[in-house]
Amino acid sequence: MLRKSLTLLLAGVLAHGSVCQTLTAYEYWFDQNDGNRTTVPVSGNPITISGASIDASALNTGPHWIHFRLKDAQAQWSSVVSRPFQVLPQGSNTLVRYEYWFDEDDGARQSVAVTGPSIDLPNESVDASALDLGPHWLHFRIQDAFGFWGPVESRQFHRGQDSPYLITALRYWVSNDVQPLDLHTVVFDPPVQQLNFDSLLEACDLPVGNNQQLKLQLRDNHAQWSSVVTRVINVSAPAPLGTPLGVTGLAPLCPGSSVALVLTPPSSGATPTGYAWSLLPGNNWSIDSTRADTAWVTVGTGGADVQVNATNLCGTGPALVETLNAIPPPGQPGPIIGDLTVCAGTVGAEYSVPNDPALNYIWAVTGGWMDSGAGNPFNTDVGTADATISV
C-alpha cells in the first residue's frame, strides 16, 4: 500500500490552439517498469487520481517512484508526471527514536529513544551547553519502528549566557536625527530584575519641547546590551525646589549623645527626591549618617549650624540653616536646707536646695533612711543611724 494517499488534480494539458481537450485515459507505472503500464479509462476535465485508484500491493517495502501520463480525445499523450513515495510494512507503526545535532556537526548526532505515535520536539530537552555564544542551527530527524527516517527539520536559535539574567545598567539618550545629546548611564549595584523608569531618567538637561525621541538600552549581568527601545516624550521645564521649613531634634541635645534630626519638607516647589545635609564647624559636633529627611548627629559643646538642601535629579534647592545649641550640664546645687539633727524614727523630714525650675533634682540618703528619690523639696523617714544626704 502507499505510505499515504496520493491525490493529483490533473487537467487536459494537451490542446489544439487554445481549446482544452477532454481526458479519456491515464496510465501509471512504478519505478523503471514502464513496460508494465496500467491504463485507466476516464472522462472529464479535470480528473482526480487518489491512492485508492492505484494498486501498489505487488511492490516491495521501501522507496519507489510512481509515474503518470494523460491521454486526451485526440489520442495525444501528456508529459510524464513523477512522484516519490514509500511502501511500508504491514502492521501498526510507532516512533522509536529521534536524533539531533548542531550546525554542520552531523557526525556528533545525539540519539534519544522515545515511545508513542507522536512526539512534541519543541518540549524535548536538548543540551546546548558546549556551544559557543551566538547564532546556531539545530537539526532533528525521527525514526519509526520500521526503520524509516523522517526528513530533517532545522531551526535557527541563539545561544546566550546562562541564567539568571539581572539588569546591571541602563543607558539612554535623546536624538531627533540632528546631534544626539550626551549618553546617560545608570549603574545598579546590586543588580535588579525590574525597573521603574519614572524615578531613573534624568531629563533636566534635555531640550524643552514635545516629540523628543528617547532611546534606551539595558545591560544584563552577562555584559550583553539589549536592543534599542525608542519612545517619543515631551519635556517640560522643571519647577524649582523649595526650602525645607525646619529641623527638629528627637531628643535633648546633650553633649556626647547621638540625636536624630528630622526636617519638615518644603511646602511648595518641585518634589524632592532626597536631601543634602551638612554641619558647619562646631566644637566636637559631627554628622554620623543621613537617610532622606533624617540625620544623626553627635552633639558637641556650644553651638553648631546644620544646613540642609532639598535635591532631585535636576539640582539642589535653597539651603535651610538652623543653629543647634547643646544643653550645658547643670552646676552644683546650692546648700541643703533642713535639720541636721533629727530624732530617730522621724517621718517625713524635709530637705531642699534653692530651686531652678529648669532642672530636675535627684536625692540619695545613706544609713538606712527611707524614701531616697527626686523632687525639691525632698522628704525622708529618719533611721537609727547617722546618714549622709546628697543631691
DSSP states of 343-377 as a string?
-TT-SSEEEB----TT---B-EE-TT-B---B-SS
Determine the residue type at 177. Answer: D
Per the model's pLDDT, the better-predicted residue between 367 and 187 turns out to be 187
pTM, entire model: 0.43
pLDDT at 291: 86
**250 plus 194 within the same structural domain:** no
Question: For residues 352 and 338, is the Cβ–Cβ distance under 8 A?
Answer: yes
pLDDT at 27: 92
Whether 272 has a pLDDT exceeding 80, the answer reads yes
Q: Which residue among 87, 107, 132 closes a domain?
A: 87
Question: For residues 112 and 97, is the Cβ–Cβ distance under 8 A?
Answer: yes
| Domains held by the chain: number | 5
On whether residue 2 sits in a domain, the answer given is no
71-116 pLDDT, tens digit per residue, is 888 889 999 999 998 887 777 778 889 999 999 998 999 888 887 6
Any idea which of 29-38, 86-95, 187-196 has the lowest mean pLDDT? 86-95
**113 plus 144 within the same structural domain:** yes
On whether residue 1 sits in a domain, the answer given is no
Per the model's pLDDT, the better-predicted residue between 282 and 210 turns out to be 210
On whether residue 191 sits in a domain, the answer given is yes
On whether residue 241 sits in a domain, the answer given is no
> pLDDT band at 29, cuts 50/70/90?
very high
Any idea which of 45-54, 135-144, 160-169 has the lowest mean pLDDT? 45-54
**272 plus 305 within the same structural domain:** yes
**153 plus 187 within the same structural domain:** no
Per the model's pLDDT, the better-predicted residue between 67 and 49 turns out to be 67
> pLDDT band at 364, cuts 50/70/90?
confident
Per the model's pLDDT, the better-predicted residue between 161 and 302 turns out to be 302
Other Cβ atoms within 10 Å of 326 Cβ, number: 22
> pLDDT band at 13, cuts 50/70/90?
very low
pLDDT at 188: 87
**183 plus 122 within the same structural domain:** no
Whether 231 has a pLDDT exceeding 70, the answer reads yes
> pLDDT band at 11, cuts 50/70/90?
very low
pLDDT at 176: 65
Which triple of cell numbers denotes residue 216? 534606551
On whether residue 205 sits in a domain, the answer given is yes
288-346 pLDDT, tens digit per residue, is 888 888 989 988 888 888 999 998 878 889 999 988 888 888 878 888 888 888 888 88
**78 plus 131 within the same structural domain:** no
What does the alpha-carbon distance between residue 74 and residue 135 come to, in Å, rounded to a whole number? 59
**100 plus 73 within the same structural domain:** no
Q: Which residue among 325, 347, 382 closes a domain?
A: 325
Which range is most confident: 41-50, 55-64, 100-109? 100-109
Q: Is 247 buried (19+), middle (13-18) or exposed (0-12) by CB count in 10 A?
A: buried
CATH number for 79? 2.60.40
Domain residue limits at 312: 246-325
pLDDT at 362: 85
On whether residue 3 sits in a domain, the answer given is no
**52 plus 71 within the same structural domain:** yes
> pLDDT band at 138, cuts 50/70/90?
very high
Whether 2 has a pLDDT exceeding 60, the answer reads no
pLDDT at 55: 80
**251 plus 320 within the same structural domain:** yes
On whether residue 117 sits in a domain, the answer given is yes
> pLDDT band at 124, cuts 50/70/90?
low
On whether residue 334 sits in a domain, the answer given is yes
Mean predicted confidence (pLDDT) in 232-255: 86
Q: Which residue among 159, 184, 204 closes a domain?
A: 159
CA-based end-to-end distance of the chain: 118
What does the alpha-carbon distance between residue 323 and residue 307 come to, in Å, rounded to a whole number? 9
Determine the residue type at 150. Answer: G
**277 plus 311 within the same structural domain:** yes
Any idea which of 137-146, 267-276, 373-382 has the lowest mean pLDDT? 373-382
Closest C-alpha among 12, 4, 152, 148 to residue 77: 12
Any idea which of 11-25, 251-265, 369-383 has the lowest mean pLDDT? 11-25
